[in-house]
A = this chain, B = another copy of it.
Amino acid sequence: MTAPQSLDPALRRIAAEVEAALGDLLPTVEGGEARLCEAMRYATLGGGKRMRAFLVMETAALFSVDRHCAARVAAAVEMIHAYSLIHDDLPAMDDDDMRRGKPSCHRAFDEATAILAGDALQARAFEVLAEPDTHSNAEARIELVQALAHAIGARGMCGGQMIDMLGNRQDLAAEAIARMQALKTGRLIQFSAEAGAMLGRAPLHQRNQLAAYGRDLGAAFQIADDVLDVTATAAEIGKTAGKDIAQGKATLVAVWGVDRARAQAEALATQAAEHLETFGEDANLLRDLAQYVVSRKS
């Protein structure tokens, strides 16, 4: 962990908070479908940096949103993230045996169970957002549902993964790679940063600023991730290293080289922080996060 002193305990505290919320919100392991529930819990609990959850919790705090409500939205986002990792790891997709330092879901269970666990996690995430406990105002809840659905659909996360899969056989230019990454990982990160504004019923200009922050942060994060794929070991990042290159995947590191990619990630992180000006010192942890995502070693 290379997070700044103030960020580190905040990340840990929020990870613990969202872990507790996930434990409550994921289905209990019982009935004939127990194996499915077990796989959902296996793939979602006990792992990950919870960066998306952190974004939800910290942007919600800017508007003094009830922490219990924010934690439900954070948990929903982490369910979506977990589902996307389960499906991305499948043999027909990236064929990854390791995830978060343990066997990926289809290796720990089987392919059918992994497909269904991802499917059921997506449904549960929307159910959690829709339940009255998430916000007393139905308008706020439906806004969250609509924005999340858009972020993860054909013009969002799924579309990005499709382009990434095709990228194996295509020579993408830097611009096309950036769009692919904006869809594949950027949209959900942007949603997470906007979620606090939606929960807080914030004015549009503030929501837009958080959206811009999330967009730049997501781009910086993804480039930094691709740099780590080249420079880190599997033990450090908890998943198979060097896969992008081995699979001939399109990344900006492949186009630009490590040094230029790293410089670009840092510029994006700086730009992300600049969108937060209106929030003053309240947004310091969000600023620290932007620096952290490009300086982390795992």
Given contacts A115-B92, A142-B130, A149-B126, contact A33 B165 (CB under 8 A): no
The answer to whether B112 touches A127, judged by C-beta atoms less than 8 angstroms apart, is: no
Complex copy number for this chain: 2
Identify which of A93, A138, A153 gathers the most chain B CB atoms within 10 Å of its CB: A153
Residues of chain B with a CB closer than 8 A to A176's CB? 32
The yes or no answer to A22 lying at the interface (CB within 8 A) is no
Cβ–Cβ contact B162 & A149, under 8 A = no
With A33-B183, A92-B111, A111-B92 as known contacts, state yes or no: A149 contacts B163, CB within 8 Å: no
List chain B residues, Cβ under 8 A from A93: 112, 115
Inter-subunit contact B179/A32 (CB<8 Å): yes
Kindly provide the distance from the CB of A28 to the nearest chain B CB, expressed in whole angstroms: 10
Decide yes or no whether A48 CB sits under 8 A from chain B.
no
B120 and A159 contact, CB distance less than 8 A: yes
Interface check A124, CB cutoff 8 A: yes
A139 proximity list for chain B (CB < 8 A): 138
Closest to A40 in B: B154
User: Do A158 and B127 touch (CB < 8 A)?
Assistant: no
Residues of B within 8 A of A154 (CB): 27, 33, 36-37, 40, 120, 123-124
Interface size class of A (residues with CB under 8 A): 35 or more
Residue-wise interface mask of A (71-109) relative to B, using a CB-CB cutoff of 8 A (1 in contact, 0 not): 000000000000100010010110000000000000000
A25 to chain B, nearest CB (A): 11
The answer, yes or no, to whether A150 is at the interface (CB within 8 Å) is yes
Bound CA span A200–B33, Å: 34
Residues of the B chain whose Cβ atoms lie less than 8 Å from the Cβ of A122: 119, 122-123
Q: Is A161 an interface residue (CB 8 A)?
A: yes
A218 within 8 A of B: no
Instruction: Give me the 9 closest cross-chain CB pairs, A-B, nearest first.
Output: A127-B149, A33-B159, A92-B111, A130-B146, A123-B153, A120-B158, A36-B162, A32-B163, A138-B138
Q: Can you name 17 extra interface pairs (CB under 8 A) apart from A123-B152, A130-B146?
A: A27-B154, A32-B163, A32-B176, A32-B179, A32-B180, A33-B159, A90-B115, A92-B110, A116-B161, A120-B153, A124-B153, A126-B126, A126-B145, A127-B145, A127-B149, A138-B142, A142-B142
A-B contacts, 8 listed (Cβ < 8 Å): A32-B162, A32-B180, A33-B154, A92-B115, A120-B153, A126-B126, A138-B138, A142-B145
